[in-house]
Structure 1
Amino acid sequence: MDKRQQLIHSAFELFYRNGIHAVGINQILQTAGVAKKTLYHHFASKEELIAAVVEYRDEKFYSWLASRLELVKPGYDGLNELFDAVDDWINNRVDLLSDFHGCFFINTCAEFNDPQQPIYQQCQHHKKKINSLIERQIRALGILEPATHHVTDSISLLKEGAIVMAHVQGDLTAANKAKDMAWIVLAAYLS
């Protein structure tokens, strides 16, 4: 791992566990084992490092979830896999994603809550990409416009709600509950 990646990885682990504003540059430097000069060689500011961390997590999370969904047939199997993947993640069965501390993008938006901020917009972009994965599953079921967007939003809300319930209330069965509710939502469109 090169020094830039080492900084990004170390910053991500600290930000995800403790919150972005709670972590100082010196803590990142100590964890990464690099000098301040190295940090500022790669990043002009802490905000630039944060943007790189958000991009890093976006790529890692999106690739992981997309690869999980590619293993199964789109549609019913894909939606089941979506919630099974979330269940694996919240129950710390996905080494690639680090221990579960809620959704990094939701947590980041709570700290950077101005929708005009670039970091907020990066998080928003991530959620849109994840929604596109869900929409592919909905389209494979044969659900047509305009219902496709409504059903995609409904499934996304259930997924996001499961993540929040697991993080905030410690409900480690939330993804399975959300999966059950998803089939109730889908039944209205598939009958």
Structure 2
Amino acid sequence: MNKRQQLIEQAFQLFYQQGIHAVGINQIVRQAKVAKKTLYSHFESKDALIEAVLAYRDERFLVWLDKRMTSVEPGKPALLVMFDALDDWFNNRVPTLANFHGCFFINTCSEYGNPESTIYQLCQRHKLRVRELIMSHVKQLQLNEDVNVLTDRLVLLKEGAIVTAQVQADKAAAKKAKLIAEQLLPDASLV
């Protein structure tokens, strides 16, 4: 692993566990076992490192979720397996995502509340990419109604499960959300 990637991965672990503002550059370089000069040769600022960490987590999360959803038939089975995947994540059965500390992007937005900031916009972009993945499976249902409506419901259900698992420590939140999704999906008018 090169030094840049090592810094990104170590910074992610620290940011995800402790929060971005709680972690200083000195802690990151100690954890990554590199000199401060090495960090600044790869990243011009802490914000640049945060942006790289967001890109890293975005890619890792989307690859994982897409793989889980494409492991079954597209459409309803994939949409339901999304909640099984979330259940695995909430219960620390997905080593590639690290132990569950909520959604890194939601957590980051709570620390960077300015919608004009690049960091906030990268978090929005991630959520849009996840929505696009969900919508690609909703489209497989060949609904007579606007696919945006069902997509929005499933996205809200997914996001609500994540927040419930984190804030209320309800590790069964994804299973509960899946039951609701099962009720939503059969009601869709199929062509």
Q: Per the shorter chain, which TM-score range?
A: over 0.9
Q: Partner residue of 1:100?
A: 100
Q: Please identify which structure carries the higher helix content.
A: 1
- Residue 89 (structure 2) pairs with residue 89 (structure 1): yes
1:95 alignment partner AA: P
1:12 corresponds to = 12
Alignment of 1:127-138 (within 5 A): 127-138=127-138
Q: In the TM superposition, what is the alpha-carbon distance from 1:157 to its structure 2 partner?
A: 0.4
Equivalent position of 1:166 in the other structure: 165
Normalised to the residue count of structure 2, the TM-score between the two structures is 0.97
Where in structure 2 are there 5+ consecutive unaligned residues?
A: none
Distance in 2 of aligned mates of 1:12 and 1:91: 19
Contact in 1 for aligned 2:80/2:181 (Cα 8 Å): no
User: Any idea what the Cα deviations from partners look like across 1:52-103, whole Å, max 9, x if unmatched?
Assistant: 0000000100111111111111111101111010010001000100000000
- Structure 1 position 184 matched with structure 2 position 172: no
Matches within 5 A, 1:37-56: 37-56=37-56
Distance (whole Å) between structure 2 residues aligned to residue 110 and residue 45 of structure 1: 20
For 1:155, the equivalent position in structure 2 comes to 154
Deviates more, 1:74-83 or 1:4-13: 74-83
- Structure 1 unmatched ranges of 5 or more: none
Q: State whether residues 144 and 189 of structure 2, in contact with CA within 8 Å, keep that contact through their aligned partners in structure 1.
A: no
Whichever residue aligns with residue 148 of structure 2, its letter is: H
Contact 2:80 2:182 in 1 (8 A): no
The farther-off stretch of 180-189 and 111-120 is 180-189
> How far is 1:114 from its partner?
0.9
CA-atom RMSD, angstroms? 1.1
Task: Give percent identity, aligned residues only.
Answer: 55
Q: How much does 1:144 deviate?
A: 4.0
